[in-house]
Structure 1
Amino acid sequence: MQYELIAKRYIKPLFELCDQVTLDNLSELLNSVATAFESDKFITIMRSSDVSTETKTALVLDMVAPANSKVANNLIKLLAENGRLDLIPALAEGLAREIGRVKRLYKGRVYCDSAIDKNSIDMIARDLGNKVGATISLEFVPSTFDGVRVEVDDLNIEINFSKTRLNAQLVEHILKAI
């Protein structure tokens, strides 16, 4: 949470200064660097006090060098000056989320205790997207939830259908009808 708040302070000026193409390219670059943070060895290097800031900066700059992006280079140098290179994963995630918000592209998850085919998930995403005026992509996540739950965090949407609750409501309805 702390990293997300700090990342927002870097993201806002990027949106004010850069066009959409530059932001998309920067997001892709930061995502590629963020994947390096999944490696324990890379994290050890980045957090080591034995490795100089200049060496860490050069390492990250080498990772984005093929893109020849002045914006990415300046951002990395700024992060290094402030001792915040470890902020890159949060920055990549926040930038992608903000770009998605601007383009109205959102990601969500479908939780269920049994497998759901890809066509059904795509249909749910399309119908939900039509309801909210956005493009939504959903990912299936196996869980122990007794039913189906759909979550799209950035839109604050949570929809769930519980088998237990449905059965209870059905029994209640039948009893009322008698």
Structure 2
Amino acid sequence: MQYELIAKRYTKPLIDMCDQNALENLSELLNGVAESFKNEKFIQIMNSNNVKSEAKTALVLDMVAPAKSEVVNNLVKLLAENGRLPLIPALACELKREIARSKRMYQGRIYSNNVIDQASVDSIARDLGNKVGATIALEFVPAQYDGIRVEVDELNIEINFSKSRLNAQLVEHILKAI
């Protein structure tokens, strides 16, 4: 998405100027504001040409006021000046991703048409994490996949075990042996 590329440009300076604790607090705050962008009325206000930019800025500044942070206030003002307040959800996501990357903690998914118990999911996550030297949390997602597929997007990992592919390889191996 176009917002993700722009969000990266805002995230880098934040990472450079804030320590880890401040980044985590900022990420939590931005995630709270990003939740507002799931509300249809809030989106209408932000996209409305009838609502002045100053009012939109004041609304978001009120949302982040409890943080009492000059960095956050300046970030909101900068986004507002450039007409990029709708960028906040992408910025929150990118900041969360960068914090996870710095801690070497990643999220992934396991797809299968068979139910996989949580103990197996945790075991796969632990073993995969040991292989790549990171902490990986996997979530089971029911899907119409004949086998198991594990994906960890941030690490560009995709592992597939398909019954049909295994059968095809087995037949191929038997035919070669004959």
Normalization by structure 1: what TM-score?
A: 0.95
Q: Deviations over 1:3-53 (max 9, x none)?
A: 111111101111111111111100111111111111111111101011111
1:135 aligned onto 2:132: no
- Contact 1:106-1:134 within 8 A present in 2 as well: yes
Counterparts of 2:8 and 2:171, CA distance in 1: 49
Q: Deviations over 1:127-178 (max 9, x none)?
A: 1011000111111111111110001111010001001111222233344445
Normalization by structure 2: what TM-score?
A: 0.95
Counterparts of 2:66 and 2:8, CA distance in 1: 26
- Aligned residue identity for 2:65: A
User: Aligned residue for 1:157?
Assistant: 157
User: Aligned residue for 1:45?
Assistant: 45
122-131 vs 162-171, which moves further = 162-171
1:167 aligned onto 2:167: yes
Q: 1:126 Cα shift? A: 0.7
Unaligned runs of 5+ in 1: none
- Aligned residue identity for 2:122: D
RMSD: 1.2
Counterparts of 2:9 and 2:156, CA distance in 1: 23
1:103 aligned onto 2:108: no
- Aligned residue identity for 1:172: E
Counterparts of 1:155 and 1:129, CA distance in 2: 11
Unaligned runs of 5+ in 2: none
Counterparts of 1:114 and 1:62, CA distance in 2: 47
* Superposition map of 1:43-82 within 5 A: 43-82=43-82
Identity of aligned residues (%): 73
- Aligned residue identity for 1:153: D
- Contact 1:26-1:71 within 8 A present in 2 as well: no
